[in-house]
Amino acid sequence: MTVKVGVIGTGMIGSEHVGRLSRQVVGARVSAVFDVATERAAEVAAPAGATAHTSWEALVADPGVDAVVIASPGELHPDQTVACIEAGKPVLCEKPLATTPAEALRVVQAEAATGRRLVQVGFMRRYDLGYIDVKKAMSDGTIGEPLLAHAVHRNASVPDFFQGEMSMTDSVVHEFDVFRWLFDSEITAVTVVPVKQSPLGAPHLRDPQIVLLRMTGGEVVTVESFVNCRYGYDVRCEVVGSLGTVSLDNPRTTVVIGGAGRSERMPADWRERFASAYLTELQVWVADVAAGRVDGPSAWDGYAATAVADAAVTSYGKGERVDIDLAAKPALYA
Ligand code: NAP
């Protein structure tokens, strides 16, 4: 079966997803796209042989669309995701599921009311081979009982529109999800600690910062967020267990030896570092949809990450620890 996918939002990541679905993912084709930027949508639709719709509602209703990818701005995700649920169509919604916990919970409740999983959230790190190895070492006893983790999330730079809080909602939100997944546990409290500011960052960024996460089991995660580190894209972590540690490093591709030195290049950005994770995410999602199921990061995961991001923004403003009180988890996500 070929899964006919409609893509809402053909900006930076939406157009990349269209390319992957059209050229690389087995068993899929892009049958429709929509973007308010109609010229961009038409440009993306043409090489894929897709219809460019005049509204996202028309795309969701199109009988030629079996499943939907949402890559529009985050505040539109809840309405668009709920429309897919109501149409009974599987949907891969880019992060964030919503920009407020209440809106994310609305999606959770809409899906739970149907009694079946239709929603997957675009937390692609769960498909990265490095993170998969870290999870294996944490669960097969290799490092004993996992106790704590240290993580760094550094971007070379961010665009001018990037505000300080966005380091929590757009960047460290990936750590919120991935450490919930690695520890198989919820985050119960978050504290954002200001750090001496880099003289090279815009003053409104308050960059870098340390984010402390406390997990249900008492484990603690420290995340360094540095969105203006200048030298490249650098995402790493080390999990410390009672018997050993496991570290996620940047994937090694090329080592240059010369000039009395040895060097490796850094990934330029998230597109390069996680290219294969995005592809695997889409390939697994398409195969699942063809098999009549949705199995990846759930609407509950999207809600929990949004709740942590919301608490982190509060902590960023107040400089205090903020506890996180999640709603009751519907049985669908047990
Ligand atoms: P982007 O380049 O701004 O693309 C968003 C597109 O959606 C733009 O073309 C925008 O048009 C369009 N749009 C605006 N209103 C719309 C509507 N009502 N319906 C459909 N499309 C609409 O943003 P992006 O970087 O691709 O990000 C899109 C989403 O993906 C965000 O939620 C972001 O957080 C997420 N994302 C996830 C990852 C990841 O690692 N998983 C990475 C990057 C982005 P205009 O430009 O005319 O407003």
b/e 145-166 (16+ beta carbons within 10 angstroms → b): ebebbbbbbbbbebeeebebbb
Residue 222 has a CB neighbour count (10 Å cut-off) of: 15
Q: Is 63 exposed, middle or buried (0-12, 13-18, 19+ CB in 10 A)?
A: exposed
Peptide bond before residue 96 is cis, with ω within 30 degrees of 0? yes
Helix orientation angle between 101-114 and 77-86, rounded to the nearest 10 degrees = 10
For the chain, give percent helix, strand, coil, nearest 5: 40, 25, 35
Residue 173 in contact with ligand 1 by CB distance below 6 A: no
* Token pair 């409609």 in the structure block, residue: 6
What integer pLDDT is reported at residue 253 of this predicted model? 81
- Residue 203 has, within 13 A of its CA and on its CB side, a CA count of 0
Q: 193 by DSSP, 3-state: which? A: strand
Q: What angle do CA 202, 77, 160 make, to 5 degrees?
A: 15
Residue 38 in contact with ligand 1 by CB distance below 6 A: no
The most distant pair of C-alpha atoms in the chain lies apart, rounded to whole Å, by 64
What integer pLDDT is reported at residue 252 of this predicted model? 83
- CA distances to 96, 125, 131, 304 from 181, rounded to whole Å, are 16, 10, 10, 11
Rounded to whole angstroms, the Cα distance separating 2 from 286 reads 9
**DSSP 8-state secondary structure symbol assigned to residue 196:** P
Sign (positive/negative) of CA torsion 292, 295, 296, 302?
positive
Q: Is 231 exposed, middle or buried (0-12, 13-18, 19+ CB in 10 A)?
A: exposed
- Residue 207 has, within 13 A of its CA and on its CB side, a CA count of 28
Tens of each residue's pLDDT in the chain, 334 residues: 899 999 999 999 999 999 999 999 999 999 999 999 999 999 999 999 999 999 999 999 999 999 999 999 999 999 999 999 999 999 999 999 999 999 999 999 999 999 999 999 999 999 999 999 999 999 999 999 999 999 999 999 999 889 888 999 999 999 999 999 999 999 999 999 999 999 998 888 889 999 999 999 999 999 999 999 999 999 999 999 999 999 999 998 889 999 999 999 899 999 999 999 999 999 999 999 999 999 999 999 999 999 999 999 999 999 899 999 999 999 999 9
User: What's the 131 CA to ligand 1 centre distance in angstroms?
Assistant: 26
Sign (positive/negative) of CA torsion 23, 25, 27, 28?
negative
Closest CA to 111 of 88, 77, 80: 88
Alpha carbon nearest to ligand 1 atom 34, residue: 95
DSSP letters, 230-277, are SS--EEEEEEEESS-EEEE-PPP--EEEETTEEEEPPPSSHHHHTHHH
Ligand 1 atom at shortest distance from the alpha carbon of 41: 9
User: What's the 56 CA to ligand 1 centre distance in angstroms?
Assistant: 13
What integer pLDDT is reported at residue 178 of this predicted model? 98
pTM: 0.96
Tell me how far the alpha carbon of residue 238 is from its chain's centroid: 20
Alpha carbon nearest to ligand 1 atom 9, residue: 11
Alpha carbon nearest to ligand 1 atom 47, residue: 37
Residue 201 in contact with ligand 1 by CB distance below 6 A: no
Residue 11 in contact with ligand 1 by CB distance below 6 A: yes
The answer to whether the beta carbons of residues 14 and 76 sit under 8 Å apart is no
b/e 167-176 (16+ beta carbons within 10 angstroms → b): bbbbbbbbbb
Peptide bond before residue 101 is cis, with ω within 30 degrees of 0? no
User: What's the 9 CA to ligand 1 centre distance in angstroms?
Assistant: 6
* Amino acid of residue 59: L
User: What's the 227 CA to ligand 1 centre distance in angstroms?
Assistant: 20
Residue 277 in contact with ligand 1 by CB distance below 6 A: no
